[in-house]
Amino acid sequence: MKKIICFAGLLMLCQQAVCLAEAKVTTERGRGSLFQFRQIPLPAINDAASTAKISIVAGEDDGNGAGVKALVDGEIPSGDDDPGANFFFAGGEARRFVIDLGKATNVKNVASYSWHPDERAPQVYTLYGAGEGHTTAMSSLEAGQSPADNGWTKVADVDTRRNRGPRGGQHAALIEDPKANLGTYRYLLFDVSKADANSPFGETFFSEIDVIDADAKDVERIKTPDPVLVTFDADGGKYEFTIDATMAPDLKDWSEEKLKPVVIEWYPKIVKMLDSDGFDPIKKVTLRFQNDMGGTPAWAAGPNIALNIEWYRGQLKGEALGAAVHELVHVAQMYPNVRRDDAKPGWVQEGVADYVRWFLYEPQTRGAEITARSLPNARYDASYRVTGNFLDWASRTYDKDLVKKLNASVRQGKYSSDFWKETTGLTEQELNDAWIAYHTKRLQKN
């Protein structure tokens, strides 16, 4: 805690409790499949912020997130990469939002929670408070002026970053004054900095902010369910897996009996099949059942695979396992973060995943056949199963290692459309024509 220094000329102000000691900030990393901290309590549901109005006064809301309402909805993300359950800025010269508690509130403490696998996890902000009738100071905030020079009282600096170790994970910060309350405020201003100034993705995923009213009676907090996990390894311990069914315990048995054996067999197989010079595959993979994915059945990001609970419940005897194999391919692809679409074409990324799924994992389902109906619209770069069919045909016709080579060229950032000519002697268009001709002939025969 910092010492209170009251200069003679400021004495008048100090007497109005403006010159409070700087609050103590406790920061902590959680380690559960959902928020879980040792010292800092879980987010509150009925805290003073839960009914507050929040306005962004500087910076832009990133439309891929849930907007500022996510900050006070009393709900937490279901995983570490859950943009739809977080608020984050898209950028701006300054990043500021104000929580209007609606009335002067005797604030006991303020807590903030964030979660991301990497640079969007840490929180870096300065908290200011202001009393009733302070709205006139709001306009000055947009211009990025100093809040302290405009009537705001600085409460605390928060920075959950560490010099060493991983950046990602669950971050929580608790601002309190162990000997008193933080002060009486109606408005709380969060003056936020990017968690990683050098990264284009350095904006914090803020999950929840709580303001605890010292005069409130019962603070109700979220309860996180006990983790429901299926953990196992593959290839003699080389790869480790966690299937997290915490949000859908009814899917645990299916995960154990059906999904686990497929992962054990297919991840090492896929990694081997997509091997390339210098390739160091991801060794720890998490598959997590989530209920915040909209209509998307499954996705993969880095070592994480998200599985849509509702979709999976309906597909256990249908596409459930095949979709998981498709996502395991994405984990193994490890394509670089390039913005140039010609170096990392989406149709190749999805086509390789669907080729493995439909032609190697479940050829008996014939799920990627070209039919008389689909032929007129078939194109090599139509992505997913259509591209999968093209890759199967090209592998059988020209080079059995074609998919491996194709994958390696994208992974190594070397891919261009020249790949096709170099590998098969034909351009993309010539290959497309030959592939269409093959199917046309095949369908005429039948």
Least Cβ distance, residue 328 to Zn ion (angstroms): 11
Contacts of 47 by beta carbon, 8 Å cutoff, 6+ apart? 210, 211, 212, 213, 216, 219
Least Cβ distance, residue 150 to Zn ion (angstroms): 49
Closest CA to 222 of 82, 425, 72: 72
Inter-residue contact 252 to 228 (CB < 8 Å): yes
Q: What angle do CA 95, 99, 102 make, to 5 degrees?
A: 155
Inter-residue contact 80 to 115 (CB < 8 Å): yes
Structure token digits, residue 323: 């979709």
* Full DSSP string of 238-281: TEEEEEE-TT-GGGHHHIIIIIHHHHHHHHHHHHHHT--TT---
How many whole angstroms separate alpha carbon 173 and alpha carbon 26? Answer: 6
Least Cβ distance, residue 383 to Zn ion (angstroms): 9
Inter-residue contact 173 to 123 (CB < 8 Å): yes
Least Cβ distance, residue 327 to Zn ion (angstroms): 7
Least Cβ distance, residue 416 to Zn ion (angstroms): 22
Residue environment code for 127-153, b if the CB has 16+ CB neighbours within 10 A, otherwise e? bbbbbeebeebbebbeebeebeebebb
Least Cβ distance, residue 306 to Zn ion (angstroms): 12
Structure token digits, residue 201: 């993705």
Residues that bind Zn ion (CB under 5 A): 350, 353
Q: What is the DSSP letter of 440?
A: H
Checking DSSP bridges between strand 284-290 and strand 239-244, what pairing results, if any? parallel
| Residue with Cβ nearer Zn ion (129 or 351) | 351
Question: CA dihedral defined by 118, 120, 123, 125, rounded to 10 degrees?
Answer: 150
Least Cβ distance, residue 24 to Zn ion (angstroms): 46
Least Cβ distance, residue 405 to Zn ion (angstroms): 20
| Residue with Cβ nearer Zn ion (114 or 333) | 333
How many whole angstroms separate alpha carbon 426 and alpha carbon 163? Answer: 52
Contacts of 421 by beta carbon, 8 Å cutoff, 6+ apart? 427
| Residue with Cβ nearer Zn ion (152 or 415) | 415
Least Cβ distance, residue 353 to Zn ion (angstroms): 5
| Residue with Cβ nearer Zn ion (350 or 392) | 350
Least Cβ distance, residue 308 to Zn ion (angstroms): 13
| Residue with Cβ nearer Zn ion (152 or 384) | 384
Structure token digits, residue 206: 């803020």
Least Cβ distance, residue 384 to Zn ion (angstroms): 7
Contacts of 107 by beta carbon, 8 Å cutoff, 6+ apart? 48, 129, 181, 182, 183, 184, 185, 188, 211, 212, 213, 214
| Residue with Cβ nearer Zn ion (56 or 298) | 298
Order of strands across the sheet that contains 298-301: 229-234, 239-244, 284-290, 304-308, 298-301
